A and B are shown apart, each in its own frame.
Chain A
Amino acid sequence: MMKDNKRHTPDGFKDSLPGPYQFKLKLKQKIENTFYLAGYSPISSPMLEYAEVFEGAGSAPPRQMYRLIDREGDVLTLRSDMTPPVARIAATNYTPADLPLRFYYTENAFRCHQSYKGKAGEFTESGVELLGGGAEADAEVIALAVNCLRAAGLTEFRVYMGHAGFFRGALEESGMAEEDKAAALRHIAGHNIVAAEALLRGKKLSYGLIKLTERLNMLTGDAGILDEAGGLVHNETSALAVSALREIYDALTDYGLTEYILFDLGMTGTLDYYTGAVFRVYARGTGFSLLDGGRYDNLVKQYGQDFPAVGFSLKLDNLAAILDGGEPLSGGALIAYTRAGRKEAFLKAAELRAEGIRTENSLTVGAPREYYEAEARARGIERVYYFEGGDAWGI
């Protein structure tokens, strides 16, 4: 294919131009401020990690990882999400005495997708990880997810909660072979209800489990659905999952946020590292989830410390697209001058900037008044200050 690569970005990658980028940064600021005020601390990690950091960490499938090889022959990978690096940082820099640890980040992550599928190869994630704690921590993180989206200006959205243990417990109870259990979980996580039902029917399983699988997709709704879900399972793991969700919901009631909360027991978490409650935010206006999170108690262990943990990441680009506020920048002041008025002009510019007014200098010296008025209009600037060396005039 003839394509002048010198002029283009790779498929799945894009530039950010001032209007939309400024809007995205503003969202980031509002979201990070919410995290900061809740006691979370900023953290950053290298874009490149040893491939081992992500191996078995249940992040993106291996073929979606960008990999390269360094001079020593080690395989490096561009991070595909932030949770494994944050878990690594927590495990290698802190001890159990430091818990609870509260971190937040906004970083770009990378996935290598097939060409021309319209998927982003690089995307910005804002998120938090809370290490230490149980149901109280789950509720805190979910409340934070709601509050950061509200702070960003999103109004119409819902958090859907599920539990990784709910369906797994039912499968354990079934006595199926390990590979069939794994396949069933994969079908359910991949939303392939037809395949999951076909698999379980073929295994001559108990009526209860088949009924559950059929109903799984429908176990979506307000807290009342937990009663129905509890009645469909007869094993400890699933029962614990339901009671864990109730406990979190109780805490969210005291946060006053239940209007945002719904349940979806068919959600098991697409990333394998989830071990407890999982949650996702859906909003109209995008075909994809906005925010994904959950409890991952087995991940930090891989890096040497056994810390329980819960967190989420928010897809900042998707949020910016829904809120759609990428208008060009405007407002502020234009400073214009003749050679004689320059010193005074620069003083005025410094004064305006100290007041927090965005001020740019015209690069044309000594032009007539109409010229600067036109310049300001074209650039969306509200005010013009002109200095001739004698009296200043302003528009």
Chain B
Amino acid sequence: MGYLTFALTKGRLAEDAKKTLADIGLACEEMKEKSRKLIFVNEEQRLRFFLAKADDVPTYVEYGAADIGISGADSLLEEGRNLYEAMDLGFGKCRMVVAGPPEIREKMGRVNNIRVSTKYPNIAARHFYQKRRQTAEIVKLNGSVELGPIVGLSDVIVDIVESGSTLQENGLVVLEEVCDISARLVVNRVSMKTEYDRITDIIRRLKESRGV
């Protein structure tokens, strides 16, 4: 039996992802400790796990470097990779929103070539062009996008919010919902076929354990 390889997202989703898998008996001792190791192996069950940056998880899975991934819906939407989005895992819930200073609310639809700063240029472009049917100038930033409207780089931002406290502290408000975000189980297209029995068994057990 070959290894089944899992790519998990570092950071925000990592602990929940490990726990979700451990709940159905997919884990290894090493993962429970704080460790600098990059790859964890469970020889008994022929499983391998590694942690990767959020936006890289869909890439590893699309290429088959990992058979299964746990990834935020935000990364999946942004990357637009060709893979199975098999299950909503229900944790890591937040919202993708358009936010900005309150005074722009009234005139948002009338701003010509509205400037949008975001870590998610594809999601922002889709939202403005396809849903709002508004031409937008998208500026990609790599972090602290809330700064955009404050320092005058952009009119609004597209970003994920959990509690909304970062927005509030910076005098920004949610102007519009883009979509709901949560962690998803994704599967490589070929692995879904060649490892069908093992993978569908994992999905079935996850659905049972998470009550979905």
Contact = CB atoms under 8 A, between A and B. Distances in A.
The answer to whether A and B assemble together is yes
Given A191-B84, A193-B87, A194-B184, A220 B193 contact: yes
Contacts of B137: none
A180 to B, nearest CB: 16
A384 B123 CA distance: 65
A160 B84 contact: no
A45 interface: no
B174 to A, nearest CB: 22
A160 B193 contact: yes
Interface in A114-134: 118
B154 interface: no
B60 to A, nearest CB: 9
B1 to A, nearest CB: 12
A190 B189 CA distance: 10
A256 interface: no
Interface string B168-212: 000000000000000010001111111010001000000000000
A: contact size bracket: 20 to 34
Determine which residue in B62, B85, B190, B192 has the highest number of CB atoms from chain A within 10 A of its CB, and name it: B190
Interface in A157-202: 158, 160, 190-195, 198
B82 A194 contact: no
B61 to A, nearest CB: 8
Contacts of B92: none
Interface in A187-225: 190-195, 198, 217-218, 220-221
B85 A287 contact: no
A64 interface: no
Contact of A158 (B2, B63, B193): B193
Contact of B190 (A118, A220, A262, A288): A288
A340 to B, nearest CB: 60
Interface in A216-264: 217-218, 220-221, 262, 264
A282 B189 CA distance: 9
B196 A191 contact: no
A158 to B, nearest CB: 7
B85 A193 contact: yes
Contacts of A283: 190, 194
A218 B193 contact: no
B95 to A, nearest CB: 15
B86 A282 contact: no
A264 B192 CA distance: 11
B87 A194 contact: yes
Contacts of B87: 193-194
Nearest to A262: B193
Determine which residue in A191, A221, A262, A283 has the highest number of CB atoms from chain B within 10 A of its CB, and name it: A191
A284 interface: yes
Contacts of A218: 200
Given A287-B62, A287-B65, A288-B189, A191 B194 contact: no
A282 B84 contact: no
A158 B192 CA distance: 13
A256 B31 CA distance: 48
Given A192-B85, A217-B86, A218-B200, A264 B190 contact: no
Nearest to B194: A284
A194 B85 contact: yes
B82 A191 contact: yes
B8 interface: no
A44 interface: no
B101 interface: no
A225 to B, nearest CB: 11
B56 interface: no
Contacts of B55: none
Contact of B189 (A195, A220, A289): A289
A92 interface: no
Determine which residue in A194, A221, A282, A284 has the highest number of CB atoms from chain B within 10 A of its CB, and name it: A194
A29 interface: no
Interface of A: 118, 158, 160, 190-195, 198, 217-218, 220-221, 262, 264, 282-284, 286-289
16 contacts: A191-B82, A191-B84, A191-B192, A193-B84, A193-B85, A194-B85, A217-B86, A217-B192, A262-B193, A282-B190, A283-B190, A286-B64, A287-B190, A288-B189, A289-B189, A289-B190
